[in-house]
Amino acid sequence: MSNYAAKLNGYVEMIDKSLTDYIADTGESIVNEAMAYSVLNGGKRIRGAMLLAAYEMFSADKKIEKALPFAAALEMIHAYSLIHDDLPCMDDDDMRRGKPSCHIAFGEAIAVLAGDGLLTLAFEICTDQMNLNSFDAQTILSTANTLAVSAGTSGMIGGQVMDIQGEGKELNADYLHRMDNMKTGALISVAVRLGCILAGASQTSTSALVRYALDLGIAFQIRDDILDKTADAEALGKPIGSDDKNKKSTYTGLYGLDGAKAEAAKFSGSAKSALENIGTDAGFFLWLADYLLERGS
């Protein structure tokens, strides 16, 4: 295992422990059980890890546990979005990470509320007074506002709307890029943006890392499209062929399988190029781009 793989595993372990603790504090009810079922059901924790890595890169003290509440909050928002994506009114997927989707396990109504609960809990965590032990109030306000914008109608939700409106239509590359910059890229780019805000990074460094993350988000989505065509459902942990079932335009449909692989490599390379003038060691983020390009799930 490389040093960077070990670093990623360390971030993931911290985030998983934090999520477990936060969920345990929510009490015992059917909706809390559904929240735990979804947010603690594995996952790569890439977004939370990127937040911690950005904070560690630019902070003076390198005490990444200070940024951990915000990483956990980001992962909760990601989990909520997956619960809602799987619903019959959206992508209608019955499996997620090798287990029945939340609405299959708990019913549609509880699944909707579990997603709502995770979204709300995320902002409860971000704005908890305990964070004032580590950051000033303006920094906390800025992170919460930035996260809200990225998760909202000008970010992730807006991209999901474009996805729904594009079903059954032949979409061009420009539409797919704009949609995925919002639907996928918003939560990936906000990860590094939040890490930079918390660490007090310069605007130049923040802009470079955000540019990296946006291109990485496109490469990530293209890889998802490729896996939807080529992966084994058991290994992927969810049904394959969902895009065809929902009549969605994809990069594989637009470019073909080999062309989509070339596009993913292009955006991954562009992401890495954005780090050239960042002014500090970006080895982890360079490694992460290659890791995500080659992932099998």
CA distance 217 to 27: 35
pLDDT for 51-76, tens place per residue? 999 999 999 999 999 999 999 999 99
pLDDT in tens, 213-230: 999 999 999 999 999 888
Residue 45 burial (C-beta neighbours within 10 Å; 0-12, 13-18, 19+): buried
Q: In this structure, what is the dihedral angle of CA atoms 78, 82, 83, 88, given to the nearest 10 degrees?
A: 150
Which residues, 6 or more positions from 246, have their beta carbon under 8 angstroms from its beta carbon? 91, 92, 167
Categorize the per-residue pLDDT at 233 as very low, low, confident or very high, splitting at 50, 70 and 90.
low
pLDDT of residue 238: 64
Q: What average pLDDT does the segment 87-93 reach?
A: 94
Question: What's the pLDDT at 235?
Answer: 64
pLDDT category at 234 given cuts 50, 70, 90 is low
Whether 44 has a pLDDT exceeding 90, the answer reads yes
How much of the chain exceeds pLDDT 90, in percent?
86
Structural tokens at position 249: 């335009």
Which amino acid belongs to residue 23?
A: I
Of 246, 240, 249, 245, which Cα lies nearest the Cα of 222? 249
Q: How far apart are CA 2 and CA 8, in angstroms?
A: 10
Whether residue 244 is predicted with pLDDT greater than 80 in this model: the reply is no
* pLDDT at position 241: 66
Residue 129 pLDDT exceeds 90: yes
- 42 CB-side CA count, 13 A: 9
CB 179, CB 163: distance < 8 Å? yes
Q: Average pLDDT for residues 82-111, to the nearest whole number? A: 95
Contacts of residue 291, Cβ cutoff 8 Å, sequence gap at least 6: 4, 5, 8
